[in-house]
Amino acid sequence: MFPFVLPPPTGCSVSPKWDGRNFVLGDQSTPVLEYSENFAGWSDDLTKLHEEAAGRNHPIDIASRNDALAQIRKYMKHPQAVIMEIGCSSGFLIRGLKKVFPEALIIGSDVVKKPLYQLARDFPGIPLIRFDLLQCPLPNQSIDVLVLLNVLEHIENDVEALEKVFNLLKPGGFLIIEVPAGSSLYDAYDAELHHFRRYSLAELEGKLIEAGFIIRRKSHLGFLCFPVFVVMKFLNKLLFPRKNKEIVRVQANSTSHSYLVALAMSIESNYLSHLSLPFGIRVIIVAEKKENHVGKCEDIGNKKCGQTQTSVKKNQTFFEVEYQRYKARVESIDTYAFIPAALNMKLQGIQRLLDIGNGGVFNYNTRLIGEVIGLDLFLDKLVLGDHFPKNVSMVQGNALDIPRTLHSFDGVLMVMLIHHLVGNTVNDCLINIQQLLSEARRVMCPGGRLVIIESCVPYWFFVFEKIVFKPATLVIEKIMKHPSTIQYPIDFLFKMIEKAGFVEVKKEKIPKGKYVLQYGVKVPSWITPVQPILFSAICP
């Protein structure tokens, strides 16, 4: 019995049924259910070329399959899980999955045809489905564990592919993914195998997070072999400027039968696999599709998501002591003078607005709105005065756990809030953003408007922030009054808003003047890459 309904293939009017050996479509049956094809990134001939050269026992491929099995064993939540390998080809991993997880439903899929039919003959009883991931026919939230080993690099639009993968997984489901490492190492070998790219760990991690995933584990495979691999790749660049079948045959075959490669991979698998290895031949990541939830943050891998206590305290102390000076600085800086006009246009006509992280500062004309609720974590510590407009009231509360008394807003506003929600790690910071957006959506009416103003940075600067996050946070906490912050790229936040379920997401730049604030200090805008951005979206 298949756990979900399969759609009819093209030209068929009935839904396929799995009988334990074949897919039954009316009075016909087939061991491979075919939906679509795409030869841009792989083909039957390439499967043959690679398997003739590397075989099924290449040391790094054995280590790859063993690592995938170990991660599934670690993260799989129940023995009857639905496990699908996308890009199963000749089924080397499928055999291992069936052996290690006998109670699970194992599904194989690929875009190639001949290897799937050969696998059906050699290893009957496994549902095999042929489809292009970008035209995925399977229902959303149908798979518990997805495995993609050396697949993503063959798909030109990898961002869309990861979105399809995210949709396929059930809430709480896991993705085991592996891609070739070293974006600068792309050569004729990669071109011949129809790789569109190689990846850095940071690039793949960023794309997974943008797709909505939480990263559980990240490392590399081929750590000990990597120095020799780099030399070989640069030699390939010098000697073979174009695609070349022969280097695939020669290099895959020679490394497949190398005692030293086998020894290095054995040592790595047995003694180093528990570490997060900083470089290697392949990037490996385990990512989770977080379960749907409302309310407080959950414990994530024994770490409590949410702001760290240090971040909360630093924010509280800074805005308690520096509040009036900080407010005066903001009002004196030309960049921030552009914000009210932009906000007034977006907020006009809203009847009930929740201003999250307000702090008693209104960067907009409150008379344009029916009722305004200002929410702030440190309300009891701030000296706000009593000259509030009649339609404004203040509530103390946490942006990551908005009080249940607050609901039914047709507008939610966040001005320069997101970069203050700092967790123990960069991943925790991203979880905080997901939680913030989830809470915002929870308290909104359908059709309500989300408005966010945030200082954003280029992607290269975000990568730098991630690298120095831990030491920089420690230094800032020790020597600066201002709390530690982390800023994000424009498209990164745009995607996160979309992934939170908002629609009609838009972004626009707010003009930069001569000065901006960085860590509470007035600095010339030309020395910093920050750019104020206004995001808007609709709650469906």
39-289: what fold? Rossmann fold (3.40.50)
Per-residue pLDDT, 388: 67
Per-residue pLDDT, 110: 94
- Give domain 299-538's CATH superfamily: Vaccinia Virus protein VP39 (3.40.50.150)
Return the percentage of the chain with pLDDT > 90, whole number: 50
What value does the mean pLDDT take over residues 393-401? 86
What value does the mean pLDDT of the chain take?
86
Kindly report, as residue ranges, where domains of CATH 3.40.50.150 are found in the chain: 39-289, 299-538
Per-residue pLDDT, 317: 58
- Gap between the Cα atoms of 331 and 329, Å rounded: 5
Q: What is the DSSP string of 437-448?
A: HHHHHHTEEEEE
Which residue would you say has higher pLDDT here, 164 or 292?
164
Per-residue pLDDT, 145: 97
Q: How many helices (H) and strands (E) does the chain have?
A: 17, 22
- Gap between the Cα atoms of 109 and 143, Å rounded: 13
Of 342, 348, 471, 493, nearest to 417 (Cα)?
493
In one letter, which amino acid is 99?
K
Question: Tell me: the pLDDT tens digits for 355-394?
Answer: 998 776 778 899 999 999 988 876 655 545 555 677 888 8
What value does the mean pLDDT take over residues 517-530? 78
CA dihedral in degrees (449, 452, 458, 459; nearest 10)?
Answer: -60
CB 273 within 8 A of CB 62: no
Prediction pTM value = 0.61
- Gap between the Cα atoms of 62 and 104, Å rounded: 22
Return the percentage of the chain with pLDDT > 70, whole number: 87
